[in-house]
Amino acid sequence: MKLQNLISKIRPLDEAAMESARARQADLTKPPGSLGRLEALSIQMAGITAEAEPKIEHKVVTAMAGDHGVVAEGVSAYPAEVTAQMVHNFLRGGAAINVLARHIGARVVIVDMGVAADFDPHPNLVIKKIASGTRNIARGPAMRREQALAAIEAGVSVVESEIEKGLDILATGDMGIGNTTPSAAIAAALTGRSPAEIVGRGTGVDDAGLERKVGAVQRALTVNNPDSGDGLNVLAKVGGFEIGGLVGAILAAAAHRKPVVIDGFISTAAAMLAVSLAPQTRGYLIAAHRSQELGHQIMLNWLGLEPLLDLDLRLGEGTGAVLAMSLIEASCKILSEMATFSEAGVSDKE
């Protein structure tokens, strides 16, 4: 199977590169550990890339879009049509992710994984549509198993194509009205926690909407009984096409030794599925931020990740991940550009 072949290429982090980065950090002109998590980040980046002094030049954020049948349960404050409208906004360069990507010099790759609308050809749009939206997970499975596999493989192909153009770091982004509901269902299935502990307000639903959302996730888990030991089963039963695309994107990046900056709630659900399919992927993940969504911390704990930022974000699109890229790039520049004690002629002894 193509997917299993890709997973077999995901290797542990490179210990020799990490040791070299660690030794250089210890010799830089500063008290040991004084740059805190920036130091740890640069060492992780060395391990991911197998380069003692990793460099970031080509930054990419992929914004994957899909619609969700569960919107029929009244789980979103916005109608499903907004997914397609926002994709058009991405293509015009007018969304938050476009602004922040321009700010840090990243290119945005927009992917139609399963939007319930057709788009005219556009140079910035990749069409990988599996179907026009998932089925309603509160009534049955989101998709067939072969569709779940196709979504993952589509995400793989998107990232491998971008690697050919130049990709040093990948940020995950999403667009899909209703997609916090399947993400919550994935998180509940994998962590064993109750929907009430995971489900948040998403686009900003009121108390009645939140109650409907919790109920929809509970029904999805009861009706579909996803197998927590089989990530592909969980994706097919309660996931989304854009979530599957992100799973593939994460796996492809890890297989090619590229760091993956995980955005918020939806991206973290995709990262959980990627790790459930390929545990070695965990070392390639960097959590961008702690989302305002209720269960996000539970999900981060399951992954063993500590986010870089805590800004009360809950937009998605990859916004938090792109912001975090600046910190990751800074950590690499500190490692490679800062002088050592010997280079600077500074004494490192009392």
DSSP string across 108-131: EEEEEEE-SS-----TTEEE--SS
CA 47 – CA 18 distance, rounded (Å): 5
- Angle made by CA atoms 313, 314, 317, in degrees to the nearest 5: 100
Question: Would you say 9 and 255 are in contact if contact means Cβ atoms under 8 Å apart?
Answer: yes
- Identify residue 19 by its one-letter amino acid code: E
Question: Would you say 198 and 180 are in contact if contact means Cβ atoms under 8 Å apart?
Answer: no
Say which of 51, 317, 343, 350 is annotated catalytic: 317
CA 133 – CA 118 distance, rounded (Å): 12
Helix residue ranges per DSSP H, 192-240? 195-198, 207-224, 231-238
At 35, phi and psi to the nearest 5? Answer: -100, 15
- Based on the residue annotation, tell me whether 317 is a catalytic residue of this protein: yes
* Burial of 1: CB neighbours in 10 Å, binned 0-12, 13-18, 19+: exposed
Q: Which positions are catalytic? A: 317
